[in-house]
Amino acid sequence: MEIVEISEKLLGLIDDAPNQAIHEALQLSGNISFELLKAAILVDAGAMVKNHNVVLQGVEIFRNAVTNYQDNPELKYNLANGLHALALSTIYKDFSWYKETEDFRLEARQYFYMAANASNASLDIRSQSFTNLGNLLWSSYRWVEAYDFYTLALTENPRNGVASSGALKMLRYALQQELGDYELLVEEIEYLATHVKENLETIYSYAGGYGVKGIVDEIKDIRTGDRKQPTNECENYENFVVSNNLTLSPTIHSHEHDSKYWDNVNISSVGADVSGSSSVPEIFAMINILKSDYILARQLFYDASNRFFNETGNYNDTLNYACYGVNESALALAQRSALDILDKVAVATLSYLGASGAKRTSFKQAWFKKTKKGKDEEFNSSISQEIENGNTALLALTEVSRDLSNKIGFLSKKQASRNSSTHRFTVFHDMGEIPTSPSGCLEHFDYENFLRESLYTLKLARSTVIYFVQMVLIREKRLAAQKDGIAMPLLVPSHEDIRGHDE
C-alpha cells in the first residue's frame, strides 16, 4: 500500500478502534515519512486510550525529527502535541498532577509558541499552534492568556472553529466566576457559538470526528447570535486597545462601553478583623498601582510604536541598520515596565496571603522554597495550601512564573530582553542581519519581532493582574463561607469621587 492509503486507513481507525490503529502503526517502518506517520498515530491514538508508553514512543520519533530538521515548524507543532498528550495521559489524582506533568507541559508550550511564530510556518500551522497553546494554557487555568491565543488563532485562520469554541469556553468560565459584564459576555458567547456551527468542516480537519462531536455537544444549549458592533466612535488609541484585547477589564474580550473609566477590573472587598486597624487594607492601594502601571506601560507602547515622542537628539550611525532614538528607548521601557508589573503582583500576593518575604520577593521566586542547586522546586507552604484549597488563579500565576524563569519556557525571552534593557544596551535593527555583540554588552533585536513580543508582554501583564484579582475573589468567597456570625462589608469609596476628578 502507498503511504497515502495507509495514512487514510489508520486515521480512520483512531476514533473507532484506537488500539487497532496503534497495533498497525507499530508495524510501520521505512523512510522518514513512514516514521512520522507512525509517530502521529501513536500520539493521537495513544492519547485516546491514555496509554502513556505508546504516546512516549511517538514523542521520541518526533523529537529525533525536530533535532534533524530544526527549521521545520510542522515537526515542532507535532512534537508539542505529543508532549501535551503525555501530560493528558498521566492520571489526574489531585493538584500533584501539575508537578508530575510540569516538564511535559513546559516544553510543549515552548514548541507550540515556536511553531506559531515561525516565519516559514503555514497559516494552518500557525492557527493550530496558537489554538493548541490556548488549550494547554487552559489546562492550568490560564484562561485569559488562552483567550488571547484563541483570538490570535482566528487572526491566522478566520474559519478556525476549534479556536472559536475555545474562546467561547473561556467566556463561559468567566461567567461562572462572576467576572465581567453578563450581557456582553452572553452576546459574545452566542456569536462564537454561531461561528463554531458555521465552521464544522474546519473543526473536522483539525480535530477529527471525535473533536467535532465534543465541541458540538458543548454548545448545543447556546442560541446563535451576531456579534454586536460598537455604537460609539473610538479614537485611534482606544481602537488599538480594544482591537488587541488590552482593556484591563474582567470582560476580557473587545467590547463597547459608556464610561471613560474602561479599565475597571477591581477588588470589591476583602475580609478584615474588626479588632484591627480602621484604615483601608493595603491591598486596595496595591491594585490601584498595578492598574495605573499597566495603563502607563500600554500608553508608552502605543506612543513608541507610532513614533509619537518628539526627537531632540542626534546620533552616530553604527552602519549596521540599527535604529536609535527616544521612540526606540520608549519601546524598550514599555516592555520593561510591563514585566515589572509581574514582580509587584508577586509582592501583593504574598502580602495578601500573609506570607513571609513579601517585601523583597520577585515573580520568579515568590512561590517557591529556597532549595539547593539541582533539586526540584517546591511551593512555599502558604502557596501550596492555598492552591490545594482550590485557588486555581494562584496556580495560574505560579505556572506563568515557570514559563518566565525556566530557560525553555516560552516566556523566558521576555525576561532576557527585560534584563538587557535594564542592565545592558538594547539595540533594534529594521533590516539586514542581526549582529552579535563582541563584548556581550549590547543585545541586538529585530525591531518588528521586538514590537510583537512587547505587545504579547502587555497581554501577559494584563493577564497576571486579572489572575491576581481572581485569586483574591476566590479566596474571599471561601473565607466568607467558613465564617459564622454577621459579616459587615467595608465600603471603599471611589477615588475619582473623593478627589473630585469627575466634577
pLDDT digits (tens, 9 = 90+) for 165-185: 999 999 999 988 888 788 888
Percent of the chain with pLDDT over 70: 90
Instruction: Assign 390 a pLDDT band (cuts: 50, 70, 90).
Output: very high
pTM of the model: 0.91
Dihedral, 182, 184, 186, 188 alpha carbons, nearest 10: -150
Among 380, 387, 389, smallest CA distance to 481 is for: 389
What is the predicted pLDDT for the residue at 488?
61
Question: In the numeric block, which cell numbers belong to residue 365?
Answer: 521566586
What is the predicted pLDDT for the residue at 131?
97
Percent of the chain with pLDDT over 90: 66
The three-class DSSP label of residue 344 is: helix
| Cβ burial, residue 41 (10 Å; 0-12/13-18/19+) | buried
Domain boundaries, the chain: 1-121, 132-229, 283-310+318-479
Question: In the numeric block, which cell numbers belong to residue 252?
Answer: 476580557
Q: What does the mean pLDDT of the chain come to?
A: 89
Predicted confidence (pLDDT) per residue in 415-461, tens digit: 777 776 676 799 999 999 999 999 989 999 999 999 999 999 999 99
Among 36, 8, 6, smallest CA distance to 24 is for: 6
SS (H, E, C) 148-182: HHHHHHHHHCCCCHHHHHHHHHHHHHHHHCCCCCH
Type of residue at 231: T
Among 335, 271, 326, 299, smallest CA distance to 476 is for: 271
